[in-house]
Copies of this chain bind each other. A is one copy, B any other.
Amino acid sequence: MKDTMPFAIELEVRDYELDIQGIVNNAVYFHYLEYARQRFLQSLGFKFTRLHQEGIDPVVVRVELDYLSPLQSGDRFQITVRPDVKGRLRLLFYQEIFKIPCQTPVLRGLITATCLVQGRPHIPPLIYEAFREASKKYD
């Protein structure tokens, strides 16, 4: 039987992330999503900083985000990651943000990434296989 839950982390809004409208600034969601992907990669045994030292740089090539409702001061929220692969050169991250405990949807996104090795797109087999496995687990 499959585990049907996505990978998820929980965070809380920090007041310095608010803009003049009193809501979390649009660019900050990018950081939230990136941090969840970092933690997801760690759960697979990979670290951005170590990969970088080894000459493997994961890079985002496309972002699609739907902003559904804003986060405000003090809100707690969950960020989910559902991974997938597309061809040999694309890693997909389906990501969502929900307020907790009320589960109000905040944002839904699809982030497409690849890896650069010596400046050229290439996903090392170890990463590719880990992703394929994870895509089955977090289906």
Binding site for B on A (CB under 8 A): 14-16, 18-22, 25-28, 30-31, 34-35, 38, 47-49, 52, 57, 59-67, 70, 72-74
Contacts and interface: CB of A to CB of B under 8 A. Distances in A.
A19 B20 CA distance: 5
Given A60-B67, A63-B65, A73-B47, A27 B20 contact: no
Main secondary structure of the interface of A (DSSP, over half): mixed
Contact of A28 (B27, B52, B59, B63): B27
Given A15-B20, A16-B34, 8 more contacts: A14-B34, A16-B35, A20-B73, A27-B30, A49-B72, A60-B67, A63-B65, A63-B67
